[in-house]
């Protein structure tokens, strides 16, 4: 079969707006590596399809990440009332309510909100026929309404805000029966997160055993797609409009949702949004900030260059050698027999990364120095060097995003009581 048929035709990227800052810089180097390797192996580059609900400045971001010219679909509507997602729909999926506490703390306001919300749902649990008759709803839907609106999400921009509100509502939200509270934040263990999500998706038969309040941070604003979450209390306006849109989109994904924004009215941004709240909601996608990103970072290059060259050794040179090059003697023997010119390797990496020696002399010098030391260590390795990664002057290739910082070793002294 022809080699050009082996390469993937598409690369799919979800949540494109998250590839920003240092993460975007790291990713841009590996995206360039993928393209370069496929070009050499198959003579082609894949098309890239990326998705995002909150994106501005996509042209620059796609140029930095993929070195491609981007096209977007759907285009933004010509007015605030016309758009791809809303033109053909008369259904209300989310209602936003702005609250400006005056003379009371934000914790007190949240406590009162949650108290009324939980009392209302518990009244429905205790007297489904009477409540449904008052609301003009068929009593057959009572269990569904309890399931869809019985769990409230409290979304905070900082862990400090969430901690304060959680401590307050544990004692100040006074309702009949237990109030089961749990958290979805960066401090929540991964196994615990999985258990919480399973409980939310498949709630216990008895309402008293279910989760009633979830305190959540920005970790919830992506990837948590649970139809039962339809009521949210938000602690202030997030600093970024994109985060506001992503967080509030966790609510009302299938059924109508209700979102209360408790503004920190003493903060200028919150006060400004409160004064023009209807327009902020109607035209929020027009206020999304461009994604900050660059692929010209020397510190990022220090972390990625080892992986870029070792990937070429693994994917290209091992294939040509028809033997493993996983240890330094085997690689050095291959370099001598072929011979492989490491200067050519360096120029190839520069081409992958689209680094112009004239405009980016500093980055070219960094790569040149890396290859110089790498070649010296291969030809005259220390006694403890066995693998090519150990010959890298910047250490082993990244295997985790935690590798961007120096790791601190810990030893457990079991000899002392």
Place of tokens 């958290």: 183
Specify the pTM.
0.79
Side-chain-side CA neighbours of 214 within 13 Å: the count stands at 31
Strand ranges for 112-222 from DSSP E: 152-156, 181-184, 213-216
Nearest in space to 267 (alpha carbons), one of 408, 158, 369: 158
SS3 299: helix
Interatomic CA distance for residues 259 and 341, integer angstroms? 62
When computed from its CA atoms, the radius of gyration of the chain, rounded to whole angstroms, is: 28
Cα separation, 129 vs 142, whole angstroms: 8
* Spatial separation of the C-alpha atoms in residues 224 and 226, rounded to whole Å: 6
**DSSP E strands, 250-384:** 257-262
**Per-residue pLDDT at 122:** 95
Q: Which residues contact 15 (CB under 8 A, 6 or more apart)?
A: 51, 52, 222
pLDDT at 222: 77
Residue ranges of domains in the chain, CATH in brackets: 1-79 (no CATH), 94-284 (3.40.50.300), 296-405 (no CATH)
What's the token pair of residue 224?
């948590």
* Start-to-end CA span in the chain (Å): 66
Averages of pLDDT over each 10 residues, the chain, 417 residues: 78 90 92 94 91 85 93 77 59 88 91 95 94 92 94 92 90 91 88 91 93 90 86 92 90 92 92 92 84 89 94 92 93 89 92 90 93 94 91 89 67 65
Name the residue among 372, 370, 376, 362 with its Cα closest to residue 395: 370
β-bridge pairing 213-216 and 181-184: parallel
Residue 385, token pair as written in the block: 């060097």
How far is residue 124's CA from residue 17's CA, in Å, rounded to a whole number? 41
The pLDDT value given to residue 286: 82
């Amino acid at each position: 079969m022809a080699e050009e048929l082996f390469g993937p035709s598409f690369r799919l990227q979800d949540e494109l707006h998250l590839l920003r800052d240092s993460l975007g810089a790291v990713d841009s180097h590996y995206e360039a590596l993928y393209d370069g390797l496929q070009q050499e192996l198959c003579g082609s580059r894949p098309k890239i399809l990326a998705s995002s609900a909150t994106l501005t400045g996509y042209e620059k971001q796609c140029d930095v990440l993929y070195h491609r010219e981007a096209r977007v679909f759907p285009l933004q509507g010509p007015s605030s009332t016309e758009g791809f997602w809303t033109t053909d729909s008369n259904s209300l999926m989310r209602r936003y309510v702005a609250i400006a506490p005056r003379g009371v703390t934000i914790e007190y306001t949240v406590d009162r909100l949650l108290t009324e919300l939980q009392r209302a749902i518990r009244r429905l649990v205790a007297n489904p026929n009477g409540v449904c008759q008052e609301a003009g709803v068929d009593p057959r839907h009572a269990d569904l309404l309890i399931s869809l609106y019985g769990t409230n999400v409290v979304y905070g921009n900082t862990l400090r805000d969430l901690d304060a509100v959680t401590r307050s509502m544990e004692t100040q939200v006074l309702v009949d029966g237990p109030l089961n509270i749990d958290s979805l934040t960066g401090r929540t263990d991964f196994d615990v997160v999985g258990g919480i999500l399973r409980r939310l998706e498949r709630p216990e038969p008895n309402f008293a055993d279910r989760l009633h309040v979830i305190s959540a941070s920005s970790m919830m604003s992506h990837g948590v797609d649970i139809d039962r979450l339809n009521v949210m209390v938000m602690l202030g306006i997030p600093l970024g409009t994109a985060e506001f849109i992503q967080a509030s989109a966790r609510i009302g994904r299938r059924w109508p949702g209700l979102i209360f924004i408790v503004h920190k009215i003493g903060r200028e941004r919150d006060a400004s949004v409160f004064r023009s709240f209807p327009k902020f909601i109607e035209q929020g996608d027009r206020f999304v900030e461009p994604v900050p990103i660059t692929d010209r970072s020397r510190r990022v290059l220090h972390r990625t260059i080892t992986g870029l060259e070792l990937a070429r050794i693994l994917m290209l040179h091992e294939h040509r050698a028809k033997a493993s090059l996983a240890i330094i003697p085997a690689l050095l023997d291959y370099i001598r027999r072929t011979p492989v010119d490491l200067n050519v390797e360096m120029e190839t990496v520069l081409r992958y990364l689209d680094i112009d020696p004239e405009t980016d002399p500093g980055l070219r010098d960094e790569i040149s120095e890396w290859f110089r030391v790498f070649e010296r260590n291969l030809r005259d390795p220390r006694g403890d060097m066995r693998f090519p990664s150990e010959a890298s002057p910047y250490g082993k290739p990244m295997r985790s995003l935690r590798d961007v910082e120096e790791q601190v070793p810990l030893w457990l002294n079991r000899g002392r009581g």
